[in-house]
């Protein structure tokens, strides 16, 4: 375990003005998004699509790291340069999704636990050799009638902590992601309570497993009402989220990179901006977005080679908007900017 490398990588991942691109969709997940646009879901199509992001001019000004799927970590660009090597040449850190998905939690209807610990030590050693310097594991917490249960909190927190310790043993920074899903008709108070419980459980287990907190990045959801509930303004989401984090996240954690979790592109940006407008926090607040960075670019591309340049520009517009939001400097005019 290289402690100096872990700390340095974690700090670079949450560097001011930069965030993380989540491009780690599984084949079925990206296949559904491609199908909706009439795009073929082949290995070459996926490679071409993701290369478009990595080759976007100026990406290194806004993006500190990219979470990759196993396939992408092993692929190369059109010039034959392995993607991890190309990213390193841009000062962008390659990362890797290592969980194998959320499965039904036995004995607890409607709840999930994430799997993927079996064989993880060996996989992490290989991923380090391939160039990955951070990893991601997503836990899923569902709000519903009488759930989440204590068993769900603990099962997911324990798995996250064991994953994180194995990552650090391999000198790979773990992104710790306890996602509270937006699906449901719960209000913002319930989201706050559930997220607080999830974070308390997670940090308790991280401590039990001896995880170095200055060598992780937290990827939480925001405190936001369910999709079937009454929406609230961006300032309320921002203040409630920062308040929750202040109660649950130790100051040693270098940074918090939020997931977008089904928010619109503009809401994900606006909420992040409103949080950073509240002033300096103990941890850098930035983004680790997937759909909120990719959706417009994917629609623009639509699988056509002649659209790659305009799709790249659409991606960079979102990247620059979120970069500004991570500094509390986003404004509506940036949404129309072509620079």
**Domain residue spans of the chain:** 3-336
| Active-site annotation holds for 219 | yes
Superfamily of domain 3-336: Aldolase class I (3.20.20.70)
| One-character DSSP codes across 226-257 | -TTS----HHHHHHHHHHHHHHHS-TT--EEE
Mean pLDDT of 20-48: 95
Average pLDDT, the chain: 96
pLDDT over threshold 60, residue 169: yes
pLDDT over threshold 70, residue 158: yes
pLDDT over threshold 70, residue 338: no
**How would residue 262 be classed by pLDDT, with cut points 50, 70 and 90?**
confident
Beta bridge partners of 180: 141
Residue of 25, 111, 177, 179 marked active site: 177
| One-character DSSP codes across 55-90 | T-TTGGGTEEEEEE-HHHHT-B-TTS-BHHHHHHHT
Mean pLDDT of 105-120: 97
Under a CB-based contact definition with an 8 Å cutoff, are residues 256 and 218 in contact?
Answer: yes
Q: Phi first, then psi: what are they for 72, rounded to 5°? A: -70, -35
| Active-site annotation holds for 136 | no
Residue of 219, 235, 299, 339 marked active site: 219
**How would residue 332 be classed by pLDDT, with cut points 50, 70 and 90?**
confident
Mean pLDDT of 195-221: 99
**How would residue 84 be classed by pLDDT, with cut points 50, 70 and 90?**
very high
Mean pLDDT of 229-243: 97
**How would residue 337 be classed by pLDDT, with cut points 50, 70 and 90?**
low
Mean pLDDT of 140-156: 97
The structure's pTM equals 0.95
- Residue indicated by tokens 């491009």: 23
Q: What is the DSSP letter of 22?
A: E
What is the 3-state secondary structure of 189-226? Answer: HHHHHHHHHHHHHHHHHHHHCCCCHHHCEECCCCCCCC
Cite the beta strand spans of 146-206 per DSSP E: 173-180
Mean pLDDT of 31-60: 96
Under a CB-based contact definition with an 8 Å cutoff, are residues 19 and 289 in contact?
Answer: yes
pLDDT over threshold 60, residue 339: no
pLDDT, position 254: 98
């Amino acid at each position: 375990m290289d402690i100096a490398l872990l700390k340095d990588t974690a700090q670079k991942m949450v560097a001011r003005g930069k965030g993380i691109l989540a491009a780690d969709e599984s084949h079925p997940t990206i296949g559904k998004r491609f199908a909706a646009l009439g795009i073929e879901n082949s290995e070459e199509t996926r490679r071409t699509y993701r290369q478009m992001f990595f080759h976007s001019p100026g990406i290194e000004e806004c993006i500190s790291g990219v979470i990759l799927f196993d396939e992408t970590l092993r692929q190369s660009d059109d010039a034959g340069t392995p993607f991890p090597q190309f990213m390193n040449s841009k000062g962008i850190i390659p990362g890797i999704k290592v969980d194998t998905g959320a499965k039904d939690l036995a004995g607890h209807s409607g709840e999930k636990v994430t799997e993927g610990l079996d064989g993880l030590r060996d996989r992490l050693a290989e991923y380090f050799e391939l160039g990955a310097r951070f990893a991601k594991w997503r836990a899923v917490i569902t709000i519903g009638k009488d759930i989440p249960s204590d068993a769900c909190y603990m099962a997911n927190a324990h798995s996250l902590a064991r994953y994180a310790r194995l990552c650090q043993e391999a000198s790979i920074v773990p992104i710790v992601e306890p996602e509270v899903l937006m699906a449901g008709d719960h209000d913002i108070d319930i989201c706050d309570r559930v997220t607080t419980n999830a974070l308390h459980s997670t940090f308790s287990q991280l401590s039990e497993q001896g995880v170095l907190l200055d060598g992780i990045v937290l990827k939480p959801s925001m405190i936001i009402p369910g999709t079937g509930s009454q929406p609230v303004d961006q300032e309320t989401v921002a203040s409630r989220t920062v308040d929750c984090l202040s109660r649950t996240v130790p100051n040693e954690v270098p940074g918090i990179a939020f997931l977008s979790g089904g928010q619109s592109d503009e809401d994900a940006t606006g909420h992040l901006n409103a949080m950073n407008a509240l002033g300096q926090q103990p941890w850098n607040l930035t983004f680790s977005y997937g759909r909120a960075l990719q959706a417009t670019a994917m629609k623009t591309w639509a699988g056509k080679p002649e659209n790659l340049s305009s799709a790249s520009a659409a991606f960079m517009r979102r990247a620059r908007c979120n970069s500004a939001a991570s500094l509390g400097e986003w404004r509506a005019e940036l949404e129309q900017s072509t620079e």
